[in-house]
Each structure stands twice: as structure tokens, then as C-alpha cells.
């Protein structure tokens, strides 16, 4: 299934935005499989040096913003009957898997400080759960609708902005988290520098991105769900991410390659993209509560079946998600 294509020729091979190696060969031409919003096919290149897969040319910001459906985040489906029941079930499931993120945070919270900034906080499920465990949550999201949803659903202090916008006016935090954000940004090195500047000295940056060198990425090639063409501009390998954190002046350890929320889901959605819940909502073609409920149940069954192989690939160090824990150097003296 891997759609490796012949080299496009030396004059068309761009340099890698992660490690800056010259002449990355063409990896694939791929369409917008998840939502079908963006027309045409997109050129993906794989760096021969760090293995990262990136789109080239990068779109301008206005074009990129048109490739996201609204909403691109999760909000609870309210209502009575089956739709309401499924909405509550989905909320319970999302909070259960998001606790995996909170536990990861707790394991790295050795100091006294508990201030937390989540960049790309979406509708706030993670921040809501972190607050329950004693963290002081703050959020940023580029979408005004996501900001409004986080405030309305969970009463969270969330401001609109991106990583470079200084939405919290020079404040620094003990923890900054970026879950599945970096791969959407045209200048990930600058973004990491901005995130690092929002950390207190010795503070922790926790990142999560899809792992383009995982077993599932290698098996599905350009059809791998984790690529999310064309919304992901850069897809990372552990080696590439480490290099980028170094460039941004942050010390890094890659600590895990398994995410309960993402690894089985990306495997299930690669196998059956038509069942993917985010894709179905983003395409906006509801088939009624009964059919949607049946599709949810099918997807959940596939998710359960995907758990053992997702665990297995992570056990051999090739899981579908990279978690990185990086630190800003402590203050001298
Ligand atoms: Zn590279």
C-alpha cells in the first residue's frame, strides 16, 4: 500500500524544514482523504537524512485555513434519546483516553509549580481533567469557536491566539503542552522557540505528534491516517523531532511511543477511513441518529481490535505517536 513514487528530479527536490538537509526525494502525491475539502493532490517529500515527511510547497496561511472543517475539534452532541446517549458516551470515552495525557503530565511534575499552558487546547477536555488533578490550567487556540466551547463547556481560562501571538502577555508557566499541534505549523522550529520562551527556567514542554517512522505509517504509506494531508505540513520521526528541539535550545528526551487516544484510532481510521468519527463530522453528511450510532459502534469495535497491534508496535519502539518531554535549561546559579 506504500505509494512510493519515483524521484521527481533534482531541481524540484526541496530541502528538509526539520534538519535542513538538501534535496529530499518525492514520497507521494496524496489527496485530502479525511474531509475532501482541499481540491487536488499534494506533494509529500521524505527527508533522506532525518526521515521526516513534509509537504512542499507550503500553502499560504489563508489557503491553509480553508482546509479545516468547522468544527475541527470535539464538542458534545446534546439532545435527548439515542443522540444524547451517544454524546454522553463519547464524552466519557474522550475523558477516559485524555486521562492518559494527564497521567503523563503528573509523572513529570516533580517540582512545586503546577501552572500549565496548553497550546492548541481545542474545546478543553485535557485542561479540564488536569485542573481536577491540581494543575492551574490556561489555554490558547487559534479558533474563536474552540475558545468559546472551552469556556462554555468547562469554564476554562482560554484565550484566542497562536503560539507566536503572546496571548498570555509575557506570562511563563511550569508546563507547556502541545498535543498534535506542531505538525500543522509551517515553521515548527520557530514555534518551539516561542513555546520554550513561555516556560519558566527548568520548566517542561510536553509534545505529542504522529510518528511517521511507526509500523503503521510504514504499512499504510501515503494512506496513513496520521499524515492528515494536507493539514499536516511536517510529519516527524523521533530523530527529526529531537533535532528540532535541539535547534530551539531545549533539552529533549523522547519518552514514549504509545498514546491510548491516538495509536489504535489512527490504525482503525487508516483501515476504514469512512468510519472515522472526526472525518464523518467534518464531512457534515449526517445519516440520522440510528445509522450514525451503528457507525460509532462499528468504529469502536475496530478500535478495540486495533489495540493489540498498536500495543505491539509501541513495544518494539515503533508506535504511532511520539511523546517528547523537553526542558528549558534552569536559571544559572
Ligand atoms: Zn530532515
Residue-by-residue pLDDT tens, the chain, 333 positions: 334 444 444 347 899 999 999 989 999 999 999 888 999 999 999 999 999 999 999 999 899 989 988 765 555 555 666 667 767 777 787 788 888 899 989 888 777 789 999 999 998 999 999 999 999 999 999 999 899 999 999 999 999 999 999 899 999 999 999 999 999 999 999 999 999 999 999 999 999 999 999 999 999 999 999 999 999 999 999 999 999 999 999 998 777 788 888 999 999 999 998 888 888 877 776 777 778 788 888 998 999 999 999 999 999 999 999 999 999 988 876
Statement to judge: residues 143 and 199 lie in one domain? yes
Rounded to the nearest whole angstrom, what is the distance from the C-alpha of residue 93 to the centroid of ligand 1?
36
Q: What is the pLDDT of residue 201?
A: 92
Which positions ≥6 away from 112 have C-beta within 8 Å?
none
Q: For residue 141, what is its C-alpha cell?
A: 487556540
243 is a domain residue? yes
76 is a domain residue? no
Specify the pTM: 0.87
Nearest to residue 47, comparing CAs of 66, 27, 32?
Answer: 27
Q: What is the pLDDT of residue 7?
A: 41
Rounded to the nearest whole angstrom, what is the distance from the C-alpha of residue 18 to the centroid of ligand 1?
5
Statement to judge: residues 267 and 299 lie in one domain? yes
Statement to judge: residues 90 and 234 lie in one domain? yes
Rounded to the nearest whole angstrom, what is the distance from the C-alpha of residue 136 to the centroid of ligand 1?
36
Contact in structure between 139 and 112 (CB atoms under 8 Å): no
Nearest to residue 26, comparing CAs of 42, 45, 12?
Answer: 45
DSSP assignment of 139-201: EEES-HHHHHHHHHHH---EEE--TTS-TTTT--EEEEEEES-GGG-S-HHHHHHHHHHTEEE
Q: What is the pLDDT of residue 5?
A: 43
271 is a domain residue? yes
Rounded to the nearest whole angstrom, what is the distance from the C-alpha of residue 154 to the centroid of ligand 1?
40
**Widest CA span of the chain, in angstroms?**
64
90 is a domain residue? yes
Q: For residues 204 and 224, what is the distance between their CA atoms, to the nearest angstrom?
A: 30
Q: Name residues with Cβ closer than 5 Å to ligand 1, which is an ion.
A: 16, 18-19, 21, 47, 49-50
291 is a domain residue? yes
Domain containing residue 304: 81-327
Statement to judge: residues 30 and 166 lie in one domain? no
Contact in structure between 237 and 50 (CB atoms under 8 Å): yes
Rounded to the nearest whole angstrom, what is the distance from the C-alpha of residue 65 to the centroid of ligand 1?
26
Contact in structure between 213 and 228 (CB atoms under 8 Å): no
Rounded to the nearest whole angstrom, what is the distance from the C-alpha of residue 176 to the centroid of ligand 1?
25
Statement to judge: residues 85 and 30 lie in one domain? no
**Residue 323 is part of a domain; what is its CATH number?**
3.40.50.150
Q: For residues 234 and 186, what is the distance between their CA atoms, to the nearest angstrom?
A: 8
Rounded to the nearest whole angstrom, what is the distance from the C-alpha of residue 64 to the centroid of ligand 1?
23
Q: What is the pLDDT of residue 1?
A: 38
Rounded to the nearest whole angstrom, what is the distance from the C-alpha of residue 54 to the centroid of ligand 1?
9
Nearest to residue 179, comparing CAs of 208, 146, 212, 138?
Answer: 208
Rounded to the nearest whole angstrom, what is the distance from the C-alpha of residue 268 to the centroid of ligand 1?
28
Q: With left for phi above 0 and alpha for psi between -120 and 50, is residue 221 left, alpha or beta?
A: left
Q: What is the pLDDT of residue 6?
A: 41
Statement to judge: residues 231 and 93 lie in one domain? yes
Domain count within the chain: 2
Statement to judge: residues 146 and 57 lie in one domain? no
Amino acid at each position: 500500500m506504500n505509494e512510493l513514487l519515483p524521484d521527481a528530479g533534482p531541481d524540484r527536490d526541496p530541502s528538509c524544514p526539520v534538519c535542513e538537509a538538501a534535496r529530499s526525494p518525492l514520497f507521494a502525491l496524496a489527496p485530502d482523504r479525511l474531509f475532501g475539502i482541499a481540491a487536488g493532490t499534494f506533494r509529500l517529500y521524505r527527508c533522506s537524512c532525518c526521515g521526516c515527511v513534509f509537504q512542499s510547497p507550503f500553502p499560504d496561511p489563508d489557503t491553509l485555513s480553508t482546509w479545516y472543517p468547522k468544527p475541527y475539534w470535539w464538542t458534545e452532541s446534546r439532545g435527548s434519546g439515542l443522540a444524547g446517549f451517544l454524546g454522553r458516551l463519547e464524552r466519557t470515552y474522550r475523558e477516559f483516553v485524555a486521562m492518559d495525557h494527564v497521567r503523563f503530565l503528573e509523572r513529570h511534575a516533580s517540582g512545586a509549580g503546577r501552572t500549565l499552558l496548553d497550546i492548541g487546547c481545542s474545546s478543553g477536555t485535557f485542561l479540564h481533567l488536569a485542573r481536577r488533578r491540581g494543575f492551574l490550567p490556561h489555554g490558547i487556540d487559534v479558533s474563536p469557536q474552540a475558545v468559546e466551547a472551552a469556556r462554555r463547556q468547562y469554564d476554562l481560562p482560554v484565550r484566542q491566539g497562536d503560539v507566536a501571538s503572546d496571548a498570555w502577555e509575557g506570562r511563563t508557566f511550569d508546563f507547556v503542552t502541545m498535543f498534535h499541534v506542531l505538525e500543522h505549523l509551517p515553521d515548527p522550529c520557530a514555534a518551539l522557540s516561542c513555546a520554550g520562551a513561555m516556560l519558566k527556567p527548568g520548566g517542561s514542554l510536553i509534545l505529542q505528534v504522529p510518528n511517521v517512522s511507526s509500523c503503521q505509517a510504514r504499512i499504510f504509506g501515503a494512506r496513513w491516517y496520521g499524515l492528515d494531508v494536507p493539514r499536516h505540513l511536517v510529519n516527524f520521526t523521533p530523530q527529526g523531532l529531537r533535532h528540532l528541539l535541539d535547534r530551539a535550545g531545549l533539552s529533549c528526551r523522547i519518552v514514549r511511543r504509545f498514546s491510548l487516544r491516538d495509536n489504535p484510532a489512527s490504525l482503525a481510521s487508516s483501515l476504514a477511513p469512512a468510519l472515522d468519527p472526526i472525518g464523518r463530522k467534518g464531512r457534515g453528511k449526517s445519516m440520522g441518529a440510528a445509522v450514525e450510532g451503528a457507525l460509532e459502534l462499528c468504529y469502536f469495535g475496530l478500535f478495540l481490535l486495533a489495540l493489540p497491534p498498536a500495543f505491539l508496535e509501541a513495544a518494539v519502539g515503533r508506535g504511532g505517536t511520539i511523546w517528547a518531554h523537553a526542558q528549558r535549561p534552569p536559571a544559572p546559579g
